[in-house]
Structure 1
Amino acid sequence: MEWREIEIFLTLADELHFGRTAERLRVSQARVSQSIRKVERRIGAPLFDRTSRRVALTPIGARLRDDLLPGYRAILAGIDRAVAAGRGVTGVLRAGFEAPGVADLVALDRFRARHPGCVLEIREVDFADPFAMLRDGEVDVLVTLLPVDEPGLTAGPAVYTEPMVLAVPARHRLAGRASVTLDDLAHDPVLRAAHPPRPYWEPDDPWHTPGGEPVRRGEPVATFQELLASVAAGKGICPLAAHAAAYFARPTIAYVPFTGAPSVHWGLVWRTAGETALVRAFAAALGEDTPC
């Protein structure tokens, strides 16, 4: 496959719309159709199911996308690094953070050192709807919890990984424990943000612990400070990323480490149509390691 064919195929696999693909790549819709048909003839199988109402990847198309995408992104990142080394990447990059404390934990200094001509603006996004500012164009890139599977958004690399802790009232029966497990979530309401849970991140109701016990959902909260106030008031408990214990320490809340719980992964997300060399340079700098 030629580079342009790969680009057209991957863009259509993302957009699933011939018109939007053509607009995004600044080519004619006929060019997109011709390129896809050429690739399908070479492979000997259809890559997309097309009807008058929808476009969908076939299983072979989905496999080809998954095989090509990492290499495609690696090539783009390599080109961007070469360009940055040759002439520098400049401009203003607005980075949103779902958890402001994570801004101190990721490699922002590495990005600033590599691209001194860039202005990096740090913004806190809405706790209840972390993708809103990204979709509205108020931030260029978002550091948020992974996984992310949102239409029109590209999930980039993980930039920080840490364990979980359980936030409980200071006088709670679990507060003095050395550690807790996911099965301990069965005994108290578990608090969450007011927006609907991401279907690919939180299980659908009913939610159960590994031991099969149902987990009660607490009253939703609109802000992180409201969540902490609710925990302190005994309205529920909440699993959090471990950095919360240092950044939001208070005498009314205890943070108890989890044993046997999955780690929390913070990663980059950006608008697919808004991907720029500056965004890719940011991803390249922050994605080189994921300290824990």
Structure 2
Amino acid sequence: MPERHELEAFLVLAEELHFGRTAERLRLSQARVSQTIKKLERRIGAPLFERTSRRVALTPLGARLRDDLEPLHRGMTRAMARAIAAARGVDGVLHVGFLGVGAGELTPRILGAFRTRHPACEIRMRETHFADPLGPLRSGEVDVLITRLPVEEPDLTVGPVVLSEPRVLAVPAGHPFARRSRVSLEDLSRVTVFGVTGPAPDYWWDFHVPRFTPSGRPIPRGQDVATFQELLALIAAGQGASPVAASVDRYHARPDIAFVPIDDAPRTDVAVVWRTAGVTARTRAFVQAVHDALRANGGPARS
């Protein structure tokens, strides 16, 4: 009977159809991959691949073997993952909070990496609001939170940054700034921005909507808001403006609001945060999935 590593090498090569990429995925040398495939072909008694200097292709026998093996391999992988998850205590339900778009386009990769490794653990997502971005984490309603920085709390641990993006100024479509290609933080003294209701930390809100320009000029404050949709509705109604992340233009574009780049605003980052004293096997597994997704992506998502 073929050994497991021979079948794994066969399935990876059947997917990649390239010895170099197969070797990288298996962390082996190309020579070792070639030897393994030849050994498997000798066991079976016929070629599984057609090899030339330009291409690698499955033979009809190889294609049939791939089709027969793939569902068995997936089932075995899931069974092993469930056994490992049960042994490590990574089962049950993981509650993940997210502010705004969360990790953006990286979110599906993070969730996919976690579910592949821990199929016995269900993920339940919950949106948080900027009026109280840390409240659900502290109350235990969520186990881990994907939120905007800064977070400077002694009882919370800030993990890896998953998204970094510039900031833009959201203004009514009819505002004079809407016709400009960019603005600066000094320009904020010429608009009315919004306060916030709720227990959000002052330093968090001051970072996202500063009270003064870099030269010290006050930035006028209008009414307080509690939710992001309320903020957008007031901007559209001509009641003020607000610095927001650039991704808002992609995910919340609307014809009555213009988004103008802010030249000198620091970037806004999104990171994974959890309770320092409440870390669990599920939390650790989720953070590991984040690290895996970041490695696969070459670092935090950027815009």
Interval containing the TM-score (normalised by the shorter chain): 0.5 to 0.7
Q: Does 1:93 align with 2:94?
A: yes
Q: 2:168 aligns with which of 165, 168, 175?
A: 165
**Quick one: structure 1 residues 179 and 108, their matched pair in 2 at CA, closer, same or farther if it must change by over 3 Å?**
farther
Matched AA of 1:186:
S
RMSD over aligned CA atoms reads 2.6
- Number of aligned residue pairs: give it: 210
Which ranges in structure 2 are unaligned for 5 or more consecutive residues? Answer: 1-80
Change (3 A) 1:156 1:85: farther
1:198 corresponds, among 177, 198, 201, to 201
1:237 Cα deviation from its structure 2 partner? 0.6
CA distance in 1, matches of 2:206, 2:248: 23
Q: Quote the residue 1:150 is aligned against.
A: 153
Does the alignment pair 1:277 with 2:281?
yes
TM-score (norm 2): 0.63
- Give the corresponding residue for 1:79: none
- 8 Å CA contact 2:161–2:272 kept in 1: the answer is yes
Structure 2 counterpart of 1:208, from 190, 206, 212: 212
Tell me, yes or no, if the aligned pair for 2:168 and 2:244 is still in contact at 8 Å.
yes
Q: Match for 2:120: what amino acid?
A: G
Structure 1 pair 251/203, CA: closer, same or farther in 2 (3 Å)?
closer
Distance 2:166 2:118 in 1: 31
Q: CA separation in 2, counterparts of 1:201 and 1:133? A: 16
Structure 2: distance between partners of 1:198 and 1:127:
10
The residue aligned with 2:61 is none
Percent sequence identity over matched residues? 50
Query: Is the CA contact (8 Å cut-off) linking 2:173 and 2:236 kept in structure 1?
Result: yes
Q: Relative to structure 2, which stretch is displaced further, 184-193 or 206-215?
A: 206-215
Structure with bigger gyration radius: 2
User: Pairwise mapping of residues 12-31 of structure 1 onto structure 2 (< 5 A)?
Assistant: none
Q: Establish whether residue 232 from structure 1 lines up as the match of residue 229 from structure 2.
A: no
Q: Would you tell me which structure has more helix in proportion to its own residues?
A: 2
d(CA) in 1 for partners of 2:199, 2:163? 25
- Which one is further off, 256-265 or 192-201? 192-201
Distance between the aligned counterparts of 1:228 and 1:170, measured in 2?
12
**Structure 1 position 278, deviation (Å):** 1.4
TM-score, length of structure 1 as denominator length:
0.65
Gap change, CA 1:101 and 1:280, over 3 Å in 2: closer
